[in-house]
Amino acid sequence: MKTIDELLAEGVSGKRVFVRADLNVPLADGQITDDGRIRAVLPTVEALAGAGAKVIVASHLGRPKGAPDPAFSLLPAAERLGELLGKPVAFAQDTVGPAAHAAVDGLEPGQVAVVENLRFNPGETSKDDAERATFADELAALADVYVGDGFGAVHRKHASVYDLPARLPHYAGYLIATEVGVLKKLTDEVQRPYAVVLGGAKVSDKLGVIDNLLEKADRILIGGGMVFTFLKAKGYEVGASMLQEDQIPVVQEYLKRAEEKGVEFVLPVDVVVSGGFPDLKAKEPTHPDTVPADAIPAGQMGLDIGPATAELYAAKLADARTIFWNGPMGVFEHPDYAGGTRAVAQALLDSPAFTVVGGGDSAAAVRLLGFDENAYGHISTGGGASLEYLEGKTLPGLAALED
């Protein structure tokens, strides 16, 4: 795929450049709680604006139902982008309508505009090729050039990600180029030992990546809500912990395959439990208890890996040369259950390995727990996209940028 450096070498002064970013930031009461994805697209926007382009930034946010919804407006993201750029950013209150055209027509070289949430138009996410194509045609009318830099959306076959690049000269932005380079180090150019840490709520979300990593990783460490399906698969009782009973046979097969292939599957030896899920807003003390992983009492819910497991996992990561981490070890948003996630985050920092934090909740945890994100090898902006790449899937947004 062509990169933004090639575009800049060709010259962009006065050209309308459509940047498909990923500004899908978390909001609470209309305020951005983590601006990492906005900061991730800054190098691309700054380079284009600095070269005299008229920059049109577009993104989705949340899951509106194909119609305008104030709760999912990109205005807060546009305002934050302006603050980070240190200059005003125009905001269009529609995607391809009069406001968008007026905003773009009003741009001078070096200026930036953001159009409203792309998912306010049903054509963005439509499974109907013709409906997506119509919306892509309308987006293409706004620009002369396309730059794909929304890595968190490249696994979606959406109009602005998949169909639009075919209608304009297209290039990969700095973020996508970086993300793809990192993922190649996790698939084709791996330094060993290669350790993978997987957490999060549902084991079903990670089955594809586990299946593929059984062919690539040297050891796989499991935590988060998904771990209780693994513990149940080994015959342990898990109390009131999160459990996907229907996935137990699949998990048992993976454990068997791992043993046959010499891949080390590492599961918790102790668990932090409580009588119920904590109130994440109040964050009041919940009086948790630590129990052996094979002795979770009835009625108790596992909410984090225990301290002995945290030490074990740190030891398993200490000699790794490549580490990929996706998914927290527990309910990290509450201080009583953040210990396991904090320990893994610290273990990555302490390791000499090339470390990749795989987006989503893992990236949010690193920031929330106060770690220096620049100390990691890479923090991905796209959890789902990273996982699908590691599953070996073709990502529509990357395929669209290929020549």
- Residue 359 annotated in ligand binding: yes
CA–CA gap between residue 197 and residue 217 (Å, rounded) = 10
Q: Catalytic residue at 360? A: yes
Tell me, what's the pLDDT at 333? Answer: 92
Tell me, what's the pLDDT at 34? Answer: 85
Tell me, what's the pLDDT at 346? Answer: 97
Q: Nearest Cα to 26, choosing from 70, 90, 71, 65? A: 71
Average pLDDT score, the chain? 95
Q: What is 250-316 written as a DSSP string?
A: HHHHHHHHHHHHTPEEE--SEEEEESS---TTT------EEEETT-PPTT-EEEEE-HHHHHHHHHH
Sorting pLDDT into bands at 50, 70 and 90, what band is 284?
confident
Exposed/middle/buried for residue 366 (C-beta within 10 Å: 0-12, 13-18, 19+): buried
CA–CA gap between residue 383 and residue 152 (Å, rounded) = 7
Distance (Å) of CA 184 to CA 214, 225, 363? 17, 28, 20
Among 148, 224, 383, 384, the active-site one is 384
> Could you read off the pLDDT of 195-251 as tens digits, one per residue?
999 998 888 888 889 999 999 999 999 999 999 999 999 999 999 999 999 999 999
Pairing of strands 145-148, 170-172: parallel
Rg over alpha carbons for the chain, rounded to the nearest Å, is 22
Tokens of 197: 């840490």
- Residue 312 annotated in ligand binding: no
Quick one: average pLDDT of 21-43? 92
**DSSP helix/strand/coil, 14:** coil
Quick one: average pLDDT of 344-369? 90
Tell me, what's the pLDDT at 242? Answer: 95
Among 2, 39, 185, 202, the active-site one is 202
CA–CA gap between residue 174 and residue 180 (Å, rounded) = 10
Q: Catalytic residue at 37? A: yes
Exposed/middle/buried for residue 97 (C-beta within 10 Å: 0-12, 13-18, 19+): middle
Which one-letter DSSP state was computed for residue 153?
G
Which residue do the tokens 């159009």 mark?
Answer: 115
Q: Catalytic residue at 110? A: no
Q: Catalytic residue at 192? A: no
Domains and CATH numbers, the chain: 2-173 (3.40.50.1260), 181-389 (3.40.50.1260)
Give me the helices (H) in 58-106, please: 75-85, 98-105
What is the percent of the chain with per-residue pLDDT over 90, rounded to a whole number?
Answer: 84
- Residue 63 annotated in ligand binding: yes
- Residue 401 annotated in ligand binding: no
CB 370 within 8 A of CB 342: no
Tell me, what's the pLDDT at 327? Answer: 93
Tell me, what's the pLDDT at 29? Answer: 87
Strand order of the β-sheet with 54-58 is 90-92, 112-115, 54-58, 16-20, 145-148, 170-172
pLDDT of residue 33 exceeding 80, the answer is yes
**DSSP helix/strand/coil, 322:** strand
pLDDT of residue 282 exceeding 90, the answer is no
pLDDT of residue 359 exceeding 80, the answer is no
Sorting pLDDT into bands at 50, 70 and 90, what band is 361?
confident
CA–CA gap between residue 395 and residue 374 (Å, rounded) = 27
Among 15, 16, 20, 37, the active-site one is 37
Most confident range (mean pLDDT) of 158-172, 279-293, 356-370 is 158-172
Amino acid identity, residue 210? I
Among 360, 382, 383, 397, the active-site one is 360
- Residue 62 annotated in ligand binding: yes
CA–CA gap between residue 23 and residue 175 (Å, rounded) = 13
Amino acid identity, residue 32? I
Tell me, what's the pLDDT at 143? Answer: 98
Quick one: average pLDDT of 27-49? 93
CA–CA gap between residue 271 and residue 274 (Å, rounded) = 10
Quick one: average pLDDT of 380-393? 87
Tell me, what's the pLDDT at 371? Answer: 93
